[in-house]
Structure 1
Amino acid sequence: MSDPAFPAGSPRIWQVGALCRAVADSLDARFNPVAVRGEITGFSRAASGHLYFSLKDATGQIRCAMFRRAASLLEFAPQGGELVEVFGRLGVYEARGDLQLIVESISRAGQGALFEQFLRLKARLESEGLFDAARKRPIPSLPRGIGLVTSRGAAALHDVMTAMQRRAPHVPVVFAPASVQGSQSPAELIAALRALYGQAEKGLIDVILLVRGGGSMEDLWSFNDEWLARCIVESPVPLVCGVGHETDFTIADFCADLRAPTPTAAAELAARPRDAWMSDLQAAAAQLQRAVHRRLDVAAQRTDQAAARLGRPLGRLAAQEIRLGRSAHRLRHALQLRLEREAHRFAVLAPQVASAVRTRLEQDGRLLDRAQLRLELLDPKLVLQRGYALLEDADGRAVTSVGATHPGQRIKASLADGTVDLTVTPPALI
């Protein structure tokens, strides 16, 4: 319901903070990332290491902030009155409602042409769909192997291999070296990637890492090559790009299936820690063991119930034996199939679990055999073989007392090797 104090069609009433956030979101969607050229004025460095200044030209001025993390990467000391080009994100400082530019990198005027070239290529490739989120693939959680492209002498190589050794030493790393800077670098990077694509098509690797340490825009320019971008998109397996520092962006980042802020982060995203897999494996093994115990308990209970239902007449005993034998066979077969499937699945991750399951299976099989042997020992035929007989009247009821007979009554006696028809005679007089 509309407020009667305001006419229909009046502007929405905003909370101040909500309005600032909405303006910030609009700026982010409309302009960012943004590059600005201007003269530094009002420059100051806070005790925290953050830099604060404004950029101005003949027609305007904008407040800027550069946080310590980004400022520590500067290759020169900015000064007031210096003409620079900055790269960053436009936003709103909500506490004061001020428009400000969060600066991620600063270069002396002259690198602007490179950035303009970067933006033109980015816009063209984006229009062709090379950056579409729909074509991004998830990184496999358990890769058979990981491909790595970087320079042979780069710190990024050491960072990635150290992270892999710490998190997933069981995963092989296939290294394809290439220079990561200079005019020859794009061609070498493409050749290295294509070599790894061949390994991927053979099923040897399931993810590729393209990494390099930080540097200036010129240092990272190889990763803004159009043909490298198209090569990345052709990768048959997911590709993670970890180039530069967290604030660096290249065309390769946009083309990759996943961007990592650093080379070490790329390795961490591609390899889940071994301890996590072992924890999952132990939980699965415990669950499997509980399931086996439950099945064995049910089987033992059914065996006890079958033994309790066994009657003395041979006909009922034979029927129970047949049903028990079938049940035991089906149970053993089902357990065998289930445990073999589970053992095969876990054998890929931990052969020791598969061995334990097979050992448990053999032990449970022996327990079942012994239970069946004890059941067979209850067979009345064994008693008959010792000279006893099973007496039944004409209706098949067991005769267990003299008082249940009368002279002339027809009785069948079951012996170990057959039956004999008998007639009850009067008791002899003493």
Structure 2
Amino acid sequence: MYSTANSTTRSLTVSQLNRHIAALLEQQVGRIWVEGEISNFTQAASGHWYFTIKDERAAVKAVMFRGRALRVGFMPKQGEKYRFYAAVTLYEPRGDYQLQVESLQRAGLGDLHAEFERLKQKLADEGLFDSASKKTPCRVPQRIGVVTSLAAAALRDVLTTMRRRAPHVEVYVYPAAVQGEEAQEQLCTALGKAIADQAVDTILLVRGGGSLEDLWSFNSERLARLIKASPIPIISGVGHETDVTIADFVADVRAPTPTAAAELCCASQAQSNADLLGLFRRLQQCQARILERASLRLDRATGRLVSPEQRILHRRQQLQQLVARMQRSATIQPQQQQLRYLQHRLLRCVPQTQGARQQVVLAQKRLQPLVQQQLQQHQQRLRAVCHTLHALNPEAIVDRGYAIVRNQHGDIIKRSVDVQANEPLHIQLAQGHLLVKLKQKHDLL
């Protein structure tokens, strides 16, 4: 404690006084719940919220910093009552005490928020929000189911979007109340009928924005489990982008608005036509390559094909050779006698090898310059062939400023009709490679 009994007591500076009072407020009061109306609400460029909390008799200034404000999920409105969880602090430069708000909720909705968080945590613990088990909606559906109220603006938004993007897709509407006491039961009944009919490829669960009470029917545990058990992909489009319900967490895809849900449920007609055209062109190219390969195989098979007349002629020649061998075998006895006679004469002859050796030496001397001459001629021809081969080498051609263009499969591009717009191309240069995307092409007619 600081005494004021005499003038010798140490005095405080204003900064010290404010710092002491700020410490007392934080220690003695701490964090509390405060209820009141918002006035003088301002959102700074930094994202912080500055406002005043008041009731009929008093008011207090408050601030909510950007990080906590982003987690609120809605924009407070002046004149509405809210419950604030805040720390009591003192702004020391001016000596004003204020509240640093950490969270806020609409007055009277504390029980609903608590129930929402309890159910959210329960279903999360059971794995109902796991992304690994979520289904992927069909990209080109034939029929779309919409679960919503017939009088809802969300239905008009969905139908307008579907007529604009995909008029060929049939839309089945399963009506149900989306607000009020009967809404939860009707939503479950309508969704259950859509699943049981098995008539649609994707189901849209949609409604417009509203308060927490307005959207409470989409926080039903029964509805959440029905969404999770559905074999048909479900896209939720409940409220505005800042609105979040249990149905959003369980659904296979969460859209920020009903219109966005209609856009996510299928590809547009223009995109489908473009995809179909691309597939048709790829099919044509594949067919052309198949026909080319079949033509080559046919040519090779035709080259190996032997006509029956040639086969008969060949067999006839083999038969004649066999007949001749049989005839020679019949006269082998006289030939054996002649062979013995010739062998006897050969033994009496003494070969004269000296003259033959001299002839071999002379022949070697004459042959050596001829071999050298032939070797030089062959070397000259080899150099000419190497020069020609070097001139025809693709890398040598690239060194002179040309390039080799390949598609993404590694095939060399020779004609402009073999590539498509926006197709990635690989260009080989003399030094290095380029990976480019084709922007425009000009085919030769």
Question: What TM-score range do you get, normalising by the shorter chain?
Answer: 0.5 to 0.7
**What percent of counterpart residues are identical?**
43
CA shift, 1:86, in A, is 7.0
Partner of residue 225 from structure 1, selected from 209, 220, 244: 220
User: Is 1:293 the equivalent of 2:288?
Assistant: yes
Match of 1:268 in 2: 263
Distance in 2 (alpha carbons) for counterparts of 1:301 and 1:230: 61
CA shift, 1:313, in A, is 8.0
Distance in 1 (alpha carbons) for counterparts of 2:261 and 2:84: 27
CA contact under 8 A between 2:40 and 2:52: conserved in structure 1?
Answer: no
Partner of residue 119 from structure 1, selected from 117, 120, 124: 117
User: Is 1:244 the equivalent of 2:242?
Assistant: no
Q: Please, what is the CA RMSD of the aligned residues?
A: 4.1
Distance in 2 (alpha carbons) for counterparts of 1:86 and 1:180: 29
SS of the residue 1:289 aligns to: helix
Change in Cα spacing, 1:396 to 1:287, as seen in structure 2 (3 Å) is farther
Change in Cα spacing, 1:54 to 1:275, as seen in structure 2 (3 Å) is same
User: Is 1:139 the equivalent of 2:137?
Assistant: yes
Distance in 2 (alpha carbons) for counterparts of 1:303 and 1:128: 63
Partner of residue 210 from structure 2, selected from 203, 206, 215: 215
Distance in 2 (alpha carbons) for counterparts of 1:396 and 1:295: 44
Distance in 2 (alpha carbons) for counterparts of 1:278 and 1:62: 54
- TM-score, length of structure 2 as denominator length: 0.51
Match of 1:179 in 2: 177
Letter of the 2:287 counterpart? V
Letter of the 1:253 counterpart? D
Match of 1:53 in 2: 50
From the CA coordinates, give the structure whose radius of gyration is larger: 2
Q: Which moved more, 1:146-155 or 1:274-283?
A: 274-283
Match of 1:279 in 2: 274
Letter of the 2:220 counterpart? D
Match of 1:159 in 2: 157
CA contact under 8 A between 2:84 and 2:102: conserved in structure 1?
Answer: no
Distance in 2 (alpha carbons) for counterparts of 1:311 and 1:120: 85
Match of 2:366 in 1: none
SS of the residue 1:191 aligns to: helix
Distance in 2 (alpha carbons) for counterparts of 1:41 and 1:183: 30
Distance in 2 (alpha carbons) for counterparts of 1:171 and 1:250: 28
SS of the residue 2:117 aligns to: helix
Distance in 2 (alpha carbons) for counterparts of 1:301 and 1:125: 63
CA shift, 1:176, in A, is 0.3
Letter of the 2:64 counterpart? R
CA shift, 1:305, in A, is 5.3
CA contact under 8 A between 1:37 and 1:83: conserved in structure 2?
Answer: no
SS of the residue 2:232 aligns to: coil
CA contact under 8 A between 1:164 and 1:271: conserved in structure 2?
Answer: no
Q: Within 5 A, what are the aligned runs for 1:22-421? A: 43-45=40-42, 52-54=49-51, 62-64=63-65, 76-78=77-79, 83-85=81-83, 107=106, 109-200=107-198, 204-304=199-299, 314-315=309-310
Letter of the 1:52 counterpart? W
Change in Cα spacing, 1:163 to 1:83, as seen in structure 2 (3 Å) is closer
Distance in 1 (alpha carbons) for counterparts of 2:139 and 2:184: 30
CA shift, 1:185, in A, is 0.8
**Alpha-carbon displacement from aligned partner over 1:191-225 (angstroms, at most 9, x marks no partner):** 1011101122xxx2222110000011111111112
CA contact under 8 A between 1:40 and 1:53: conserved in structure 2?
Answer: no
SS of the residue 1:176 aligns to: strand
Q: Which moved more, 1:234-243 or 1:286-295?
A: 286-295
SS of the residue 2:188 aligns to: helix
Structure 1: which 5+ runs fail to align? 1-35, 88-98, 319-389, 398-430
CA shift, 1:261, in A, is 0.6
**Alpha-carbon displacement from aligned partner over 1:83-133 (angstroms, at most 9, x marks no partner):** 52479xxxxxxxxxxx99799x974x2222322222222223323332233
CA contact under 8 A between 1:244 and 1:262: conserved in structure 2?
Answer: yes
**Alpha-carbon displacement from aligned partner over 1:223-276 (angstroms, at most 9, x marks no partner):** 112222222222121211110000001111122122111011111111112222
SS of the residue 1:297 aligns to: helix
CA contact under 8 A between 1:149 and 1:192: conserved in structure 2?
Answer: yes
CA contact under 8 A between 2:176 and 2:187: conserved in structure 1?
Answer: yes
Distance in 1 (alpha carbons) for counterparts of 2:122 and 2:307: 91
CA shift, 1:303, in A, is 4.6
Distance in 1 (alpha carbons) for counterparts of 2:149 and 2:279: 41
Structure 2: which 5+ runs fail to align? 1-32, 86-98, 321-445
Distance in 1 (alpha carbons) for counterparts of 2:34 and 2:121: 20
SS of the residue 1:261 aligns to: coil
**Alpha-carbon displacement from aligned partner over 1:26-76 (angstroms, at most 9, x marks no partner):** xxxxxxxxxx8655778344699x883157799996424679xx87x76x5
CA contact under 8 A between 2:48 and 2:63: conserved in structure 1?
Answer: no
Change in Cα spacing, 1:214 to 1:42, as seen in structure 2 (3 Å) is closer
SS of the residue 2:240 aligns to: coil
Distance in 1 (alpha carbons) for counterparts of 2:144 and 2:180: 26
Distance in 2 (alpha carbons) for counterparts of 1:132 and 1:394: 82
CA contact under 8 A between 1:142 and 1:272: conserved in structure 2?
Answer: yes
CA shift, 1:298, in A, is 3.6
Distance in 1 (alpha carbons) for counterparts of 2:167 and 2:250: 28
Change in Cα spacing, 1:248 to 1:230, as seen in structure 2 (3 Å) is same
Letter of the 1:231 counterpart? L
